[in-house]
Each structure stands twice: as structure tokens, then as C-alpha cells.
Amino acid sequence: MSAPSPATPLLTTPLNALHIELGAKMVPFAGYSMPVQYPAGLMAEHNHTRSAAGLFDVSHMGQLRLVGADAAAAFETLMPVDVIGLGVGKQRYGLLLNDEGGIIDDLMFFNRGKDIFVIVNGACKVGDIAHIIERIGHRCEVIPMPERGLLALQGPQAAAVLSRLVPGVEKLVFMTGGEFQWKNADLFITRSGYTGEDGFEISVHESRAEEFARALLAQAEVKPIGLGARNSLRLEAGLCLYGNDIDNGTTPPEAALNWAIQKVRRTGGERAGGFPGAARILAQIDQPDTLARKRVGLIAKERIPVREPAELQNAEGQNIGRITSGLLSPTLNQPVALAYVQTAYAKPGTEILAIVRGKQVPMVVSATPFVPTNYFRG
């Protein structure tokens, strides 16, 4: 990667000194200097998260609060999801849309009763916050929280580890959360993540983030994990990366994200439509044959890694789509990918060809996740 120009110095997270101390290879990501891997390397970090517990610094992400009696109804005008009906103590996946129905960003939101707590992607947070303020700032308070760090502890040992430091977190189930304390530091913890494993995301004040991270790393099961393994883990789980697999030119139905649009917001629902691009999106849900392209999972039949933005062709050599994320799955030891293909080729089991350095690599459309998820549902 080219060095940043002096005019745009990289931001750092509250754990920057710790990453350097741990020997991380730092790279520019979303305007921040971030650890892509530690000395153990991507493969070891990936496998450790799948077998024990991995600690991720995701403090580059945006945290904000929406406050006021009208906050849920206001936020619902920006997304095709059920915000009003989300119970206190619960989290949900959301999609900010532009007026054409394209995805501005994907996010997580949580009903804390006193407010709606929102986590958005790091690369999008400045634009997201401006968009939310512009659209609904007159209906509720929009309060960015740049003073908060964010850690993710992921893997089958995550609950055992975190409950040692923060008793009570083990009672949470997937997509729930609450307020906790550790040595007088206020923590907001959800049982969720971006790896397909059981795990937690922990919001902590920047002044206590390093101390808390060190306490977690002192546990025998925990190792630090960089962005490289974060990417391979999320891809095995079939989860989208904003900017690769979804963007402002992609609608939720094209992105195979209809599961994120609850019935209450669909045609015939109690609060159908009323979000940006609703006519287009609801038509695509109601008449899936009108979709020109769709996001699919692909598994290669040969052990040749297929990376974005590789072209996809049919047997006749015609272009039918492209890879948006691809790598050799450390868990499966097979190349996996997410891609957009013409709808006629989107059925599981369909064989298509990826073009890698001029060579055809046969791939098969596959259901995702590629690796079964281990979310704790109680």
C-alpha cells in the first residue's frame, strides 16, 4: 500500500500502542492505522478464533446514539427494517438506503430503552452520521460517540473468558446485550460479531480500552487477531463486507438480504414501505424474476484461489458476473467467494467459470454460510 500523504495523517485507535508492542503489521484501513496481522500470521489467527477466543480491535467503527421519543419511528424512515417493534435489550441488523434503494451502509442497532445505540462501518461513519442528522436530526438527537473504543471477543471460548472478567455476560444470547461494569469502567456489551462464532462486542471508553484489552489478552485462551483473519472469518460465515459485496449501487434483494427486511415493512405489512427506494425494493421482493443479478456464494472445484474482481463466465465464455470477495478458506482448505451473477445462474449447484490470470477455474454456486455458524441462542 502506498504511504499516506502528509496532508492526510492516519487516525489511530486507543489500542495503537498495544498493537505495535504485540508486533502487529499495521496498514491503512478506513482512514486508520490498523493491525492486518500479528506475528502468528493470518492462518493461525483464523484457526485460533475458530477453536478458542480471538480479540479484535474494531474501534475504527462509528458508534452513535439516537435519543428522543420519536427516535425509533424516525430511524425507521431511513431503513427497510422494523425499528419500532424491536424490544428493549435486543439488537438488529439494518441497512441505510439512498433514494434509489441502494445501500449507503449496513449497521447494527440496539434498543437500550433510553436510546437507540447504533454501530456503523468505519469507512462510512462520517457520511452515515451526516446523512442521519440531515434526514432525522429534527426528530431526535443524533449523538456521535467518538470517545468510545470497540473490542470484539469471538470464538467458542469467548463466553467463558469474558464471564471471568464480567460476570453475567454468559446469560446473554445472540443479538441481545446490556450495560456492565469492569473495575468501575462502564461497558456496553452485545452478544454478536462478524465471524460466525459465538462472541461479544464491547463498547468501552477510550481511556480504559487498552487496560481492558490487556486483561482479556492475559487470559490463556485469548490471542490478538488482525483484519486479515477478520476478513477470512466473515467470508466463511457468508457475511457481506461494505464496499466489496454491497454498496450504494446494490439493493437489498440483489444482495440476497431479504431476510433483513421484516414482514411489517413489506407489501401488505402494517408499516409497508415508507423507506427510501421502497417502490423499487418491494417490487424486487414481490417479483424476484425482475432481478437482473443476485449475490451468491461460490466454491471452487480446484485449489486455485479466486479473488475479487475476477470475471465470471458461462460455458459459452459470456460474461455473467464478477467476484466481490474471494480467498482460500482456512477452515475448508478450498477457495470460496461471494459474487454477483445474472439471476439465471444463481441457483445452488450451478457451475460457472471464474477467470484467474486467463485460466478458467470451475466454481459451483453454493449456499452460505460456507462454515456453519455457532451463535449462542440459549
For position 179, which CATH number holds?
Answer: 3.30.1360.120
> Residue 205 sits in which domain range?
15-54+147-225
Ordered DSSP codes for 43-57: HHHHHHHHHSEEEEE
**What b/e sequence results for 8-22 when a residue is b if at least 16 CB atoms lie within 10 Å of its CB, and e otherwise?**
eebebbbbbebbeeb
The pLDDT score that the predictor gives to residue 190 is 98
Question: For residue 161, is it within any domain?
Answer: yes
Ordered DSSP codes for 172-236: --TTBEEEEEETTEEEEEES--SSSSSEEEEEEEHHHHHHHHHHHHTSTTEEE--HHHHHHHHHH
Query: Residue 3: pLDDT above 90?
Result: no
Q: Is the peptide bond before 39 cis (omega within 30 degrees of 0)?
A: no
Render pLDDT for 158-185 as a digit per residue (tens, 0 to 9). Answer: 999 999 999 999 999 999 999 999 999 9
Question: For residue 189, is it within any domain?
Answer: yes
Instruction: Report how far apart, in Å, the C-alpha atoms of 166 and of each of 6, 79, 203 are.
Output: 42, 34, 13
Render pLDDT for 15-25 as a digit per residue (tens, 0 to 9). Answer: 999 999 999 99
Question: For residue 211, is it within any domain?
Answer: yes
- Whole-angstrom Cα distance, residue 40 to residue 98? 41
Mean pLDDT, the chain, rounded, equals: 97
Question: For residue 183, is it within any domain?
Answer: yes
Amino acid at 129: I
The pLDDT score that the predictor gives to residue 171 is 98
Question: For residue 138, is it within any domain?
Answer: no
Query: Residue 229: pLDDT above 80?
Result: yes
Query: Residue 208: pLDDT above 70?
Result: yes
- From 375, 368, 361, select the one nearest 338 (Cα to Cα): 368
Question: For residue 210, is it within any domain?
Answer: yes
Quickly state the pLDDT bin for 196 (edges 50, 70, 90): very high
The mean pLDDT of 235-258, rounded to a whole number, is 98
Amino acid at 10: L
Classify residue 341 as left (phi > 0), alpha (psi -120 to 50) or beta.
beta
Quickly state the pLDDT bin for 7 (edges 50, 70, 90): low
- Whole-angstrom Cα distance, residue 195 to residue 232? 8
Question: For residue 40, is it within any domain?
Answer: yes
Quickly state the pLDDT bin for 224 (edges 50, 70, 90): very high
Quickly state the pLDDT bin for 8 (edges 50, 70, 90): confident
Query: Residue 6: pLDDT above 60?
Result: no
Question: For residue 368, is it within any domain?
Answer: no
> How many separate domains does the chain show?
1
Quickly state the pLDDT bin for 305 (edges 50, 70, 90): very high
**Would the annotation count 201 as a binding residue?**
yes
Query: Residue 297: pLDDT above 80?
Result: yes
